[in-house]
Chains A and B, each alone.
Chain A
Amino acid sequence: MDIYNGGPEVSIRSIKKDSMKFVLSNTDLSVANALRRIMIAEVPTMAIDMVEIETNSTVLTDEYIAHRLGMIPLTSYDVDRIQYTRDCTCTLYCPNCSVELTLHVKVNVDYDDMNDPTIDKTRQVTSLDLISSDESVKPVSDDKAHPILIVKMRPGQEIKLKCVAKKGVAKEHAKWSPVYGVAFEYDPYNKLRHSHYWIEEDEKLEWGVSANAVEETPVDPNEPFDFNAKPDRFYIELETSGCMKPEEVALRAMTIMQDKLGGLQIKLDDEFKEDTQRWGY
């Protein structure tokens, strides 16, 4: 770690149920960006990937509902236990690589209320109606009063389907992303001039400094531009879908990076041992 000046430093600012703020410092932009990119696209989660519809007499088409189901975040803190379907020995899916969820709602016609316009006969089918076969993988619902709406039904309609949730990464489809957003900022005073602000008249009036600016020294207008300066303090804020804890997303991201590197080393070792020997080094 000598050439890396002691290595990166992490300072956690706040952790909430679905979000966290931290500062990553004493490292390169490329490392901070790798962390950001992995959190967004390469941390595996569970999401509904296959839907078998048995009955659908609702106003929404089968594919419309299937798409909506795919978007529902599922709790994924236990995702390590589940295999990727492509690595599994089964033919289509099995309990080792998937979780089944069922949805069956039938709205009966109540002939007494049918002609009474004051009674709301709409049945809202929500994520609470999805019954999971696995306690650790179920729709994220921190608030029972505001579940995720899937479809609205009228009396006489029925929906019956089976969903298969699979493990995946957001590189393949964004529904597998554990985060809804990652805010990534460095150099709030724009000393490095990486940002060019579009202005009408006055930059300072039209572009206020961010909240992270309190941690840095304000720019001195008489100071000459330091063209050798590099960003080394990164303010990262992430918001999860609720599928796992925010600190878990960040930690998993770094572990995934290590796994990638470890895999490359093994491949490199296999590939070039002979080459290196051939050249006599």
Chain B
Amino acid sequence: MSATRVVRMEEDPAEVDTGKVTIVPGTMTEPQCATFCLQDEDHTLGNALRWTLMKNPEVDFASYSIPHPSETRTNVRVQTSERTTAVEAMFKGLDDLTDICSHVIQTFQAELAKGEFEYDEEGAF
């Protein structure tokens, strides 16, 4: 899904890169560390991604920040052990979070199919 972005009048639409991932210049001094800049992402993804990154035993440090509230970008800092790279860790973090989402969808659908809950077609609350 392409992320929503309202292009402001003063911005040239051609210059707005939606959903882009870049490395903040100067932050990748070696392959084991990098600060990724995620365009059009916020706490929704940032915090959950930070958690899956930290779950990776090869990741020494992971954090995220939103440098400015009126810019729709999120920075994610990753530092890993010698056995992997920051980019690889990032891939694994994204993969793991995707797996978690699939797992939630599966268990949710299984629960719906089981039907062991109170059900009321009409009631509002």
Contact in complex: A27, B100 (CB < 8 Å):
yes
Q: How far is the CB of A234 from chain B (nearest CB, A)?
A: 11
Q: Decide yes or no whether B22 CB sits under 8 A from chain A.
A: yes
Give the number of chain B interface residues (Cβ < 8 Å): 59
Contacting residues of chain A (252-281) with chain B, CB-CB under 8 angstroms? 254-265, 267-268, 271-272, 275-276, 279, 281
Q: How far is the CB of A173 from chain B (nearest CB, A)?
A: 9
Give the docked Cα–Cα distance between A15 and B23 (Å). 44
Contact in complex: A35, B1 (CB < 8 Å):
no
Q: How far is the CB of B91 from chain A (nearest CB, A)?
A: 7
Q: How far is the CB of B34 from chain A (nearest CB, A)?
A: 9
Q: CB-CB contacts of A228-259 with B at 8 A, as 1s and 0s?
A: 00000000000100000001001100111111
Known: A261-B45, A281-B85. A16 touches B31 (CB 8 A): no
Contacting residues of chain A (116-134) with chain B, CB-CB under 8 angstroms? none
17 A-B residue pairs with CB within 8 Å = A1-B99, A7-B103, A8-B104, A8-B107, A16-B123, A17-B121, A18-B124, A19-B125, A31-B97, A33-B48, A254-B104, A255-B101, A257-B97, A264-B45, A265-B98, A267-B21, A271-B20
- By a CB distance below 8 angstroms, the chain A residues around B2 are 84, 87, 263
Q: Decide yes or no whether B27 CB sits under 8 A from chain A.
A: no
A interface residues (Cβ-Cβ under 8 A, vs B): 1, 3-4, 7-19, 22, 24, 27-28, 30-31, 33-35, 37-38, 41-42, 84, 87, 142, 168-169, 171-172, 239, 247, 250-251, 254-265, 267-268, 271-272, 275-276, 279, 281
Contact in complex: B85, A262 (CB < 8 Å):
no
Known: A16-B125, A254-B105, A268-B94. A8 touches B120 (CB 8 A): no
Q: How far is the CB of B90 from chain A (nearest CB, A)?
A: 6
Which residue of A30, A34, A251 is within 8 Å of B109 (Cβ)? Answer: A251
Which residue of B6, B47, B98, B120 is within 8 Å of A172 (Cβ)? Answer: B6
Which residue of A27, A84, A251, A263 is within 8 Å of B105 (Cβ)? Answer: A251
Residue of A nearest to B3 (CB): A260
Known: A12-B112, A250-B108, A251-B109. A259 touches B1 (CB 8 A): yes
Give the docked Cα–Cα distance between A18 and B118 (Å). 13
- By a CB distance below 8 angstroms, the chain A residues around B4 are 42, 168-169, 171-172
Q: Decide yes or no whether B122 CB sits under 8 A from chain A.
A: yes
